[in-house]
Amino acid sequence: MIEDTAGRTMVRAAMRAPYLEREEEHLLALRWKQDNDQHALHCITMAHMRLVISMASKFRHYGLPLGDLIQEGHVGLLEAAARFEPEREVRFSTYATWWIRASMQDYILRNWSIVRGGTSSAQKALFFNLRRLRARLANGAEPLSNASLYREVSVALGVSEADVAMMDSRLSAPDSSLNQPLADDAGATERMDFLISDDPLPDEIVGETIDVERRSVWLKTALGALNARELRIIEERRLSDEGATLESLGEALGISKERVRQIEARAMEKLKVALVEQNPEFLATAA
């Protein structure tokens, strides 16, 4: 049933429009083509709106409003009228059928999914024929596996098996909103919630990498201000993953752990002074 009043009016008008005999159709086409007679165009298009409605009903299983399909078919009908050549002695309905179907199919491909598909003629044929071929092949003597089905369809339509598999997965389920709750509860988690990442933003990662590299250069230069014993203590106490204890370093160096602590404190002070003197911008980054 068509929901909008305009659509119902169009259907009623189409059902009342008289059929055109071949000669009458030819004369109307000549008047439209040669004299730009708008009344002749109206007579031709209204007489063929039954064809539009009939074709639209065949595409209803794609879940789009019948009224919209009829309107798109009417656009195709007008395109056919603009291109029709009456001197070729071909019935207008035969010529218009292709344009009407193409207009409806293009509308379906634009609106069936938010993901654009059917961008090539092969993919378009696959989209509109996969279900029919699947049903026909499934009625065979033996059930087909997906691999066999994809192979049969790819041969029938001249597309790759990968394209068949991809289209089959797209047709098997409708689009889902990212704001759709995963449960029926009002406060249920939405799909969007799983897209949020706690990881740093790319610019933060790059900035941190640059800062780490710069500070590494600063530290390496500042370490040159330490003597050998100070450098060893700093490396083993501060720059090692293990983090040697004061006691173990004291035993290795033959001094008390208190002495090690004093040397470490002095070395840290020397490092700070060296960092500031050699790199004045260190204070700004440290703050």
Question: What CATH number corresponds to the domain at position 98?
Answer: 1.20.120.1810
Residues 107 and 149 grouped into a single domain: no
Q: Are 28 and 20 in contact (CB under 8 A)?
A: yes
Residues 229 and 276 grouped into a single domain: yes
Give Cβ neighbours of residue 81 (< 8 Å, ≥ 6 apart). 32, 41, 44, 45, 92, 96
Q: Are 233 and 250 in contact (CB under 8 A)?
A: no
Domain containing 46 equals: 1-112
> Does residue 278 lie within any of the structural domains?
yes
pLDDT at 284: 53
**Helix, strand, coil percent values for the chain (each to nearest 5):** 70, 0, 30
Residues 49 and 78 grouped into a single domain: yes
**pTM of the entire predicted model:** 0.51
The CB-side HSE value for 23 (13 A sphere, CA atoms) comes to 0
Model pLDDT for residues 98-149, shown as the tens digit of each residue: 999 989 988 888 887 655 555 567 667 777 777 677 666 666 555 567 777 7
Residues 39 and 140 grouped into a single domain: no
Residues 72 and 148 grouped into a single domain: no
Helices marked H in 36-145: 38-47, 49-57, 66-83, 92-111, 121-138
Residues 69 and 102 grouped into a single domain: yes
Confidence of residue 178 (pLDDT cuts 50, 70, 90): low
> Does residue 192 lie within any of the structural domains?
no
Residues 103 and 136 grouped into a single domain: no
Residues 256 and 170 grouped into a single domain: no
Residues 96 and 122 grouped into a single domain: no
* Structural domain total, the chain: 3
CA distance 265 to 272: 11
> Does residue 187 lie within any of the structural domains?
no
* Long-range interactions of 156-159: CB distance < 8 A, separation 24+: 156/129, 157/122, 157/125, 157/126, 157/129, 157/133, 158/122, 159/122, 159/123, 159/125, 159/126
Residues 106 and 157 grouped into a single domain: no
CA distance 52 to 32: 20
Q: Which residues is 98 bridged to in the sheet? A: none
The CATH number that applies at residue 220 is 1.10.10.10
Model pLDDT for residues 28-46, shown as the tens digit of each residue: 999 999 999 999 999 999 9
> Does residue 196 lie within any of the structural domains?
no
Place of tokens 């439209």: 32
